[in-house]
């Protein structure tokens, strides 16, 4: 998967990384390791930014995680480009020194290893009004055409609670009806769909029955979560963390809690860590069952759809029995869990998960021999390994294209270092490989749940109430759809000053168009379903 490495692997360990950096940059970039040796900050001049990012991603194979923009109280800006590689290398935070008052920053997308920072820069342009010099495509992105030019809601002087007067949306918009006619034309799909589907818009450019090109438009569901979190207390922001993407509530709640715990130096008890692992995997299991249901449904295989849907519903019920809520809302709190799980419930959980995974296995076996089903998925919606790398794709989608990255492995959190599990990888990158990844990961999730329950430690399920500290930290969790990064800046009074979520659906929707080129029109729902992404998660 990785290219030839010009730098020896052990030069990239935390201990050696700062030295390597000083060596390569001859003091032009200041490298400093944090106390625990987990984060290396690289301070560089504005003009070196592109070069440094290029060095990290191209020469050292670091992956771009996220771009954090913060508006400083004195009108200046702080930009943080976060890269990761793991498991022995540190997180790398690149911090360019910017002149006060400047809103122009060199763009790293297009130059760095590919366009993985592209959407991050577009978002910062839209929401903060920063300018990224040399970016190939800026303009309307998160805020659609009905927001007046020059509105930058993430700026401090923009009031989140004031109702905002918009222009009227494009009056030509109509509820779409899908017509297929000969000849070349562009077919709009969405934002409202015929069945239960999330709001998004796709323009399919077609010739006859074939779609040549897909132009997606997202952020119909932009709720300004990061903005409305500002100034609210941790308990209230936790509600947002769980509810901006309800089908991955636990993963995102966990990433938020981990950021808070890192800031405040909270030690999470062993039992809480183990139970967090159990619930996170229960959520992954259910999420993947839902994606499998969606894929079966998109191929109109009725019995398989029913079987998968029954598995999904059984997992929802199981979640409700274990943690009182079908989507695990309210189960987390900083320092541990908001509830404990009794021994009896744990043994029920273990048995039920075992039975359900048996049914999943059977379903997988039957699908494998359904040639009419496989024909719809094989060689459909392909993403090559190079494409996936250059777009920095994450999660099951990336793993189906040969990228074995998984944050549970790279930076083990909760109790993941105590369990052995495999990270399934496939190479073809088509719809069928993604389906196989979803099946295998669901089976691994069940395995992890049962393993952790066997070694579940006694003790409290939550630490003492957390004493708030001022600071900032990144919470990184492998959510069901892939890597999720939550950056939190906390004030000493326990209110959130800045919250930035980089959800896996944001990262992966960016690469969706790669898979949606040159295909038969009726395959569109299949390609869509095989990505298993959420618009709520992407749009925030």
Partner 1 sequence: MTNWVFKGLRTGIKTTAYPVRQDDTPGVSPGRPRATLLDSAAEVERLVELCPTQAIERQDGGAAIDYGRCVHCFRCWRDADDVSADWERSYEWAAYSADSAAAAQDLEKAFGRSLHIRFVDAGACGACMSEARQLNNPYYNMHRLGFCTTPTPRNADILLVAGPVSDAMRFPLRKTYEAMPKPKRVVAIGACAISGGVFGPSFAASASAAETIPVDVIVPGCPPPPLAILHALLLVVKRKPPSDRISLPIDPTEDAKE
Binding residues among 243-302 for ligand SF4 as defined by CB under 6 A: 243, 246
Residues between 295 and 354 that touch partner 1 (CB under 8 A): 301-304, 306-307, 309-310, 312-313, 316-321, 324-327, 329-330, 338-339
Tell me whether residue 97 or residue 243 sits nearer to ligand SF4 (CB atom). 243
284, with CB counted inside 10 A (0-12, 13-18, 19+), is buried
CB of 243 to ligand SF4, least distance (A): 4
Cβ-closest position to ligand SF4: 243
CB of 503 to ligand SF4, least distance (A): 15
DSSP helix/strand/coil, 7: coil
Judged by CB under 8 A, the residue of 10, 23, 173, 342 near partner 1 is 173
Tell me whether residue 310 or residue 338 sits nearer to ligand SF4 (CB atom). 338
Q: Tell me if 325 contacts ligand SF4 by CB under 6 A.
A: no
CB of 205 to partner 1, least distance (A): 22
Tell me whether residue 243 or residue 364 sits nearer to ligand SF4 (CB atom). 243
- The entry of ligand SF4, partner 1, none that residue 173 binds, CB within 5 to 8 Å by partner kind: partner 1
CB of 296 to partner 1, least distance (A): 11
Q: How far apart are CA 103 and CA 213, in angstroms?
A: 34
Residues between 226 and 245 that touch ligand SF4 (CB under 6 A): 243
- Site map (CB under 8 A) of partner 1, residues 497-536, x = contact: -------------------------------------xxx
Q: Residue 232 in contact with residue 224, Cβ under 8 Å?
A: no
Per-position DSSP letters for 264-289, written without gaps between them: HTPPPPHHHHHHHHHHHHHHHHHHHH
Instruction: Identify whether 344 is preceded by a cis peptide bond (ω within 30 of 0).
Output: no
**Diameter over CA atoms, the chain:** 68
Tell me whether residue 176 or residue 246 sits nearer to ligand SF4 (CB atom). 246
Tokens coding 64? 């771009």
Judged by CB under 8 A, the residue of 33, 41, 188, 220 near partner 1 is 220
Tell me whether residue 243 or residue 368 sits nearer to ligand SF4 (CB atom). 243
The pairs formed by 156-161 with CB atoms below 8 angstroms and a separation of 24 or more are: 156/71, 158/227, 160/224, 160/227, 160/228, 160/230, 161/228
Judged by CB under 8 A, the residue of 6, 139, 150, 175 near partner 1 is 175
Per-position DSSP letters for 366-391, written without gaps between them: HHHT-HHHHHHHTTSS---HHHHHHT
Residues between 15 and 44 that touch ligand SF4 (CB under 6 A): none
Judged by CB under 8 A, the residue of 47, 159, 375, 464 near partner 1 is 159
- Where is 353: in which H helix or E strand? helix 343-368
Tell me whether residue 66 or residue 534 sits nearer to ligand SF4 (CB atom). 534
Q: Tell me if 364 contacts ligand SF4 by CB under 6 A.
A: no
CB of 163 to partner 1, least distance (A): 6
Count of C-beta atoms within a 10 Å radius of residue 46: 15
Judged by CB under 8 A, the residue of 74, 99, 133, 162 near partner 1 is 162
Tokens coding 289? 């069952």
# chain residues binding ligand SF4, by CB under 6 A: 2
Q: How far apart are CA 152 and CA 130, in angstroms?
A: 9
- The entry of ligand SF4, partner 1, none that residue 168 binds, CB within 5 to 8 Å by partner kind: partner 1
Q: Tell me if 412 contacts ligand SF4 by CB under 6 A.
A: no
Buried b (16+ CB within 10 A) or exposed e, 175-210: eeeeeeeeeeeebbbbbeeeeeebebbbebebeeee
> Measuring CA to CA, which residue among 283, 280, 306, 284 is closest to residue 293?
306
CB of 329 to partner 1, least distance (A): 6
What is the dihedral sign for C-alpha 27, 22, 41, 389? positive
Applying CB under 8 A, which part among 35-43, 54-62, 236-244, 394-402 lies near partner 1? 236-244
Tokens coding 233? 């207390």
- The residues that touch ligand SF4, with contacts defined as CB under 6 A, are 243, 246
């Amino acid at each position: 998967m990785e290219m030839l490495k010009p730098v020896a692997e052990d030069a990239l360990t935390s201990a050696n990384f700062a030295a390597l950096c000083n060596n390569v940059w001859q003091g032009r970039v200041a490298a400093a390791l944090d106390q625990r040796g987990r984060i290396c900050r690289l301070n560089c001049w504005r003009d070196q930014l592109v070069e440094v990012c290029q060095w990290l991603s191209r020469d050292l194979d670091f992956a771009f995680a996220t771009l954090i923009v913060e508006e400083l109280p004195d009108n200046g800006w702080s930009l943080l480009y976060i890269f990761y590689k793991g498991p022995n290398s540190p997180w790398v935070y690149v911090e360019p020194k910017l002149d006060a008052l400047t809103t122009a920053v060199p763009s790293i997308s297009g130059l760095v290893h590919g366009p993985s920072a592209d959407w991050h820069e577009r978002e910062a342009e839209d929401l903060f009004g920063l300018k990224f010099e040399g970016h190939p495509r800026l303009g309307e992105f998160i805020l659609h055409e009905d927001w007046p030019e020059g509105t930058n809601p993430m700026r401090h002087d923009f009031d989140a609670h004031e109702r905002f007067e918009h222009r009227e949306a494009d009056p030509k918009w109509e509820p779409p009806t899908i017509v297929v006619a000969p000849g070349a034309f562009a077919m709009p799909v969405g934002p409202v769909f015929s069945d239960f589907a999330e709001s998004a818009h796709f323009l399919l450019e077609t010739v006859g029955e074939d779609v040549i090109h897909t132009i997606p438009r997202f952020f119909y569901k932009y709720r300004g979560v990061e903005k409305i979190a500002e100034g609210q207390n941790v308990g209230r922001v936790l509600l947002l963390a769980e509810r901006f993407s309800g089908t991955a509530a636990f993963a995102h709640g966990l990433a938020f809690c981990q950021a808070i715990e890192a800031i405040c130096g909270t030690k999470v008890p062993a039992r809480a860590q183990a139970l967090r692992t159990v619930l996170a995997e229960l959520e992954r299991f259910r999420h993947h069952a839902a994606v499998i249901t969606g894929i079966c449904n998109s191929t109109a295989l009725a019995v398989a759809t029913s079987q998968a849907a029954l598995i999904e519903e059984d997992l929802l019920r199981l979640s409700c029995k274990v943690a009182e809520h079908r989507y695990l809302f309210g189960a987390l709190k900083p320092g541990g869990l908001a509830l404990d799980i009794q021994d009896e419930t744990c043994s029920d959980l273990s048995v039920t998960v075992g039975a359900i995974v048996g049914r999943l296995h059977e379903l997988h076996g039957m699908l494998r021999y359904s040639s009419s089903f496989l024909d719809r998925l094989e060689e459909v919606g392909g993403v090559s390994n190079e494409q996936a790398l250059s777009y920095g794709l994450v999660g099951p989608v990336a793993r189906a294209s040969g990228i074995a990255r998984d944050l549970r492995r790279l930076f083990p959190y909760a109790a993941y270092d105590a369990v052995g599990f495999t990270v399934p990888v496939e190479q073809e990158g088509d719809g069928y490989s993604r389906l196989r990844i979803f099946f295998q990961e669901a089976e691994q999730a069940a395995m992890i749940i049962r393993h952790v329950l066997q070694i579940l430690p006694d003790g409290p399920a939550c630490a003492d109430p957390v004493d708030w500290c001022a600071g900032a930290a990144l919470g990184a969790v492998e959510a069901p759809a892939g890597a999720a990064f939550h950056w939190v800046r906390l004030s000493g009074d326990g209110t959130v000053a800045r919250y930035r979520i980089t959800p896996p659906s944001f990262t992966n929707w960016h690469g969706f168009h790669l898979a949606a080129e040159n295909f038969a029109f009726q395959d569109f729902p299949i390609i869509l379903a095989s990505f298993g992404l959420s618009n709520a998660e992407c749009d925030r």
